[in-house]
Amino acid sequence: MAELAVSQQLEHLLDRQLISLVGERAYAFRHALLREAVYATLLRRERREMHGAVAQTLEALYADALDEHLADLAYHYFENEMWDKAQAFAQRAGEQAQRREAAHEAHTHYTHAITAAQHRGQMPPTELYRARGQVREVLGDFDGSRDDHETALAAARAADQPRAEWQTLLDLGYLWAGRDYAQAGRYFQQALALARSMDNPLVLGRSLNRLGNWHFNREEIVDALRCHREALALFERHPDPRGVAETHDLLGLTFGYHGDIHTARTHSERCLALFRELGDRQGQASSLTSMAELGPTFGSELAETAITLREAHFLVDQSLKLSRAIGWRAGEAYALLSLGSVRLSAGDFGQALHDGRQGERVATEIGHLQWQTLAQVFRSRLYFELGQYPAAAAAAAEACAGAERVHSVIWMRFGHLQTALICMAQGDLPGAEAALAGQLDPDRLPDTAAQRMLAFAYGRLALLHGRPDQTIAIVERLRASIPNPSPGFVIPRLWKLHAEALAALGQWPEAEALLLAALPLAHEIRILVWQVHAGLAGVYAAQGRSAEAEQEAATARQVVTELAATIPEADQRETFTTMALARVAQPWPGGPPQ
């Protein structure tokens, strides 16, 4: 009779369109507000009892398939205040949501599990705080993540749990890597010391990877590669697919920044395949963006390129979609800034501006100081290419200040590089010298992207000072610094600088040959191709080949016009056009060659 009465009531509610049938046996309110209004009419005791009845019914009805109903069981037992079952089901529901990379849902369940444990008068398990700390990091909640990890660390130490202590030290180091490399390094070194005392090769491998990445960010490439290679050997000797995938990812990143693009691509492709096999979407997103950086974009301008701009655009677009799908905001910021760099190289100023602003906004919202500094470097470079020198200088100053806060050698170098290039473009050679001072060891070959760019800036500065022989010597050192080069490799921006130095010495055929060699690859890099055509126009004009000179100048002007059409702001469009056309008319730095 009771079942019949319930069925009649449900039919009545269906007729009044207050509820709807979901599947064959389930009903739902047609509107969430209606549900909340009905729920609010119940006394707290009634609500608690109903939640308990629903939870017990679900548990009995789906005893053989509880995993499919963990979220509902966790919710109803929590509202029923049956704290032991609420804790157990909420923890399982959180772990399930985290595996699905549903960060917001996982955060809710872990919070409920911690609250349930506290209501039971117990210290919540260390792994609950650690799990919620990881989820909060994904969501961009730095303070909350730090608090959870520090709570987990204190609990692990109080309980004398070396493995949990090691894991939490690693988590804290990784978290701080987005804010302060000095603080991150302290945690990574503590974790490595603890790992070496534990006689666990997989624990040691993960510690080596984290410390290796810390060395990478300090531009200590030899130390970084040593750590990652040792880690890879451990993971392969004691099979751990995830450890192997993460190590290949880090090796790809390190070799790419070192300039060994071919080796970097091999590692990046391997790690991407492994992350796909593991179903690790965050790992895939990270490796996709890292692989995109192997294209002809800012940071890889003085190395060979392993992929085209079209390929880089596809890779970073996939990374952006994955990052947004799993709610990984740090990955989203990194992908947006990388996409902006790709579009800038392709000459799409409007979209590059849009992507850069979005990336900087996300990085600022989550307080990710490393990506904020990257955004400032990117903004400086973009305004520099537009000829907006005051805005570019302001962004470079912000980048240097940000790099100082996070103790990042890499971003400090790029910030000073941008300042020097801007000073040179404005004719302030003493300012450029001051910006470059102490940034590069003149007695060693550059072995990172930032060091090569700084050496390039020294070469341009020498040319502006009227010392083309010194420029050529720097170019030769830069060529010799490329690791694992392809036979007959060409780096358009470096070849162009070499051609300018030869032109200053009146070696026109040699300058022409270099520019012609650079032209095929430069055609993909739209922000550079017009400058190569302008250089050829100058070479031909100097040799009295007027028709060829005018043809090259006309091509350069046409590309400038096409690039200007992508700039949405009229004043920026006018500034860029004026600056670029002036350089087409006078392609030689420091005036016409004698």
For the stretch 418-428, pLDDT in tens is 999 999 999 99
- Higher local confidence (pLDDT), 288 or 63: 288
If one counts every other C-beta atom within 10 angstroms of the C-beta of residue 1, the result is: 5
Helix (H) / strand (E) containing 564: helix 546-564
Q: What is the pLDDT of residues 229-280, one digit of tens each?
A: 999 999 999 999 999 999 999 999 999 999 999 999 999 999 999 999 999 9
**Residue-level pLDDT at 1:** 47
**Residue-level pLDDT at 372:** 94
- Report the C-alpha gap between 171 and 134 in whole angstroms: 8
**Residue-level pLDDT at 37:** 62
Judge whether residue 15 has pLDDT over 60.
yes
**Residue-level pLDDT at 177:** 82
User: What's the CATH architecture for 491-594?
Assistant: Alpha Horseshoe (1.25)
Q: What is the pLDDT of residues 428-455, one digit of tens each?
A: 999 999 999 988 887 788 989 999 999 9
Judge whether residue 212 has pLDDT over 50.
yes
The residue-averaged pLDDT of 544-550 equals 94
- Higher local confidence (pLDDT), 590 or 443: 443
If one counts every other C-beta atom within 10 angstroms of the C-beta of residue 88, the result is: 16
**Residue-level pLDDT at 345:** 94
**Residue-level pLDDT at 594:** 46
Torsion of CA 222, 225, 227, 229, to 10 degrees: -140
**Residue-level pLDDT at 4:** 65
Q: What residue spans in the chain does CATH classification 1.25.40.10 cover? A: 177-279
Residues 345/297, Cβ–Cβ less than 8 Å: yes
The residue-averaged pLDDT of 31-57 equals 73
The token duo for 219 is 């531009």
pTM of this structure: 0.78
When pLDDT is cut at 50, 70 and 90, the band that residue 59 belongs to is confident
The residue-averaged pLDDT of 548-563 equals 96
Residues 500/466, Cβ–Cβ less than 8 Å: no
- Report the C-alpha gap between 378 and 416 in whole angstroms: 13
Q: What is the pLDDT of residues 465-482, one digit of tens each?
A: 999 999 999 999 999 999
Helix (H) / strand (E) containing 28: strand 26-29
Please report the DSSP string for 138-195 in residue order: HTT-HHHHHHHHHHHHHHHHHTT-HHHHHHHHHHHHHHHTTT-HHHHHHHHHHHHHHH
Longest CA pairwise span in the chain (Å): 107
The residue-averaged pLDDT of 522-540 equals 93
Angle at 431 between CA 515 and CA 421, to 5 degrees: 30
Please report the DSSP string for 361-407 in residue order: HHHHHTT-HHHHHHHHHHHHHHHHHHT-HHHHHHHHHHHHHHHHHHT
Helix (H, G, I), strand (E, B) or coil at 327: coil
Radius of gyration of the chain from its Cα atoms, rounded to whole angstroms:
30
The residue-averaged pLDDT of 109-127 equals 90
**Short-list 219, 218, 220, 206, CA closest to 249:** 206
Choices 1.25.40.10, 3.60.20.30, 3.40.50.620, 3.40.50.10800: CATH for 177-279? 1.25.40.10
